[in-house]
Amino acid sequence: MGLIFSQFLGSAEPEPPPSVVLVPPLLERERKGRSRFAKSSYDRLFGKPQLAQLFGDYLSSDIRAVIHFAPPEDQRINVTAKLGVPRPGAYAAGSPAKPPVAGGSLTLRWEPSPDMPYTFFDVKARTRGASSAAAVRGCLFDPRSNLAVWAEMPVVATNANGSPAASPGAGLRLGAKYSSPGLSLGAVVNPAQATLSHAFVVGRVGGLLLGAQTAPMLQLDSLCAGGGLLDRPAWATAVRQCQLATSYAVAYQPTPGAGTYGGRFTAAVELVRDSELSISFLHHQAVQRRVRNPFESSDVVGITNYLNFGFRMVSDLAGRQGSQMQLAAQWQANKNVMVKGHVSLQGVAVAGVIKSWWQPSFTLAGAAAFDFATGRTRYGLTAAVETFKNIRYERSAAAQKMSGARITQRHVASEEDVAYAEGRGLLVPLDEVDNPAVLGQQPAGGDDYL
């Protein structure tokens, strides 16, 4: 009787699989943030790296090649090589723009712990035309004390004519930095020349970000000359020198869950040495749309898209160069395709990017740029090869564990997801659009430090 009952249950049709929403990885992995504890916090905040990436990546009118390789046998070692070659005929003779020269760089990096990339040692060599340089750098970050110290020393340096530059020891730089989610301050000095290269301080109060940085190349031994440490004229001169070389910035950057709607944005204003005023806005948004792809299975009801929009206006307060304005937008439609465009007072550029997630992965981008002044159109090509490491999804760490380590993630569709696929309602409920687990990654390690 039990056998008959079990056979009857087994003959029932299996339940259909739950509806899912695709969550592709971001095409860019922001590897530049790995070295941020060996750099000024002022230079990496206020949306600066993100704007530089939005306005520049893949839009060049040159031929560029990039290789980023981390051997699977030992993830502590990785190498990055970049090569830029001006396209023949891209710049006509007599053009007001100076023709660029070929250049490249190679970085060999060692990280004791792959889960903590902020402590590292690397060797970097670069060449541009006839000039070349190489330097070694080491950084030690202690997450318990929030302190980081680093040193950078050039080992090879030649001028454009091939002659040796200054001795390597003269270029040694030592830096120290304290960083936390609310405050970051530090300084860099040149011991051989007894100079203060630059100093910075950055603080966060809620969604408000404030910062200042000075780069005075101040002679520290001059403060002790004459009247010693209490020599008031020397200190007054030093303070004035620092003031003339100081930049100030303020930004509004609300954290996810603090009233944002549909994405994350940064609105920033910067005064550069009393001579330049910069206003910028950057918006990143993760949105979901219905799938219109016959190659997807029937249980897929939506896919996440990533949109970036940026604006920057730079005014020369001295009135010598006038104002510069830039607008850029970027759309990643799925895990393989991204398009972006950039327009400024000088010209307009568009680019299309295709990425294959094989092992290793390949990226190919083509760009076209039109110059308003000359009326000429230039074309560029970028090719990149890289191995998988730290693939980023626009999902939380918990959501990543649920779906495993597949290249395209899936999460079970909610009632709102199914409703959206049927043309009814929103894909994400309104009370979840500012949830960090939906819009972005949870910070880990020192990622949330300034």
Q: For 183-209, write each residue's pLDDT tens digit.
A: 999 999 988 888 888 899 999 998 899
Could you tell me which residues come within 8 angstroms of residue 230 by beta carbon, excluding any fewer than 6 positions away?
Answer: none
The token pair that represents 22 in the structure block: 């695709």
**Per mean pLDDT, which of 13-17, 32-36, 101-105, 340-344 is the most reliable?**
340-344
Q: Tokens 């160069």 — which residue? A: 321
| Burial 214-243, CB ≥16 within 10 A → b, else e | bbbebbeebbeeeeeeebeebeeebeebbe
**Span 136-154, mean pLDDT?**
92
Report how far residue 54's alpha carbon sits from residue 36's, in angstroms, rounded to the nearest whole number.
19
Q: What is the pLDDT of residues 435-445, one digit of tens each?
A: 444 444 444 45
pLDDT for res 390: 65
- The answer to whether the pTM exceeds 0.75 is yes
Element (H, E) at 19: none
Task: Tell which wins on pLDDT, 432 or 305.
Answer: 305
**Span 99-107, mean pLDDT?**
80
pLDDT band at 135 (very low <50, low <70, confident <90, very high): very high
What amino acid is encoded at 35 in this protein? S
Domain definitions of the chain by residue range: 15-75+183-439
Residue 224 has, within 13 A of its CA and on its CB side, a CA count of: 5
| The length of the chain, given as a count of residues | 450
Report how far residue 252's alpha carbon sits from residue 265's, in angstroms, rounded to the nearest whole number.
8
**Span 52-78, mean pLDDT?**
88
What amino acid is encoded at 138 in this protein? G
Say if residue 231's pLDDT is above 70.
Answer: no
Start-to-end CA span in the chain (Å): 69
The token pair that represents 385 in the structure block: 């090869």
Beta strands in 395-450 (DSSP E): 409-412
Q: Which of 48-62, 269-283, 385-399 has the lowest mean pLDDT?
A: 385-399
Supply the CATH classification number for the domain 15-75+183-439. 2.40.160
Q: Tokens 């004459």 — which residue? A: 226
**Span 153-167, mean pLDDT?**
66
Report how far residue 6's alpha carbon sits from residue 3's, in angstroms, rounded to the nearest whole number.
5
Q: Which of 17-26, 76-85, 264-273, 347-356 has the lowest mean pLDDT?
A: 17-26
Task: Tell which wins on pLDDT, 77 or 131.
Answer: 77
What amino acid is encoded at 69 in this protein? F
pLDDT for res 232: 66
Report how far residue 37's alpha carbon sits from residue 237's, in angstroms, rounded to the nearest whole number.
31
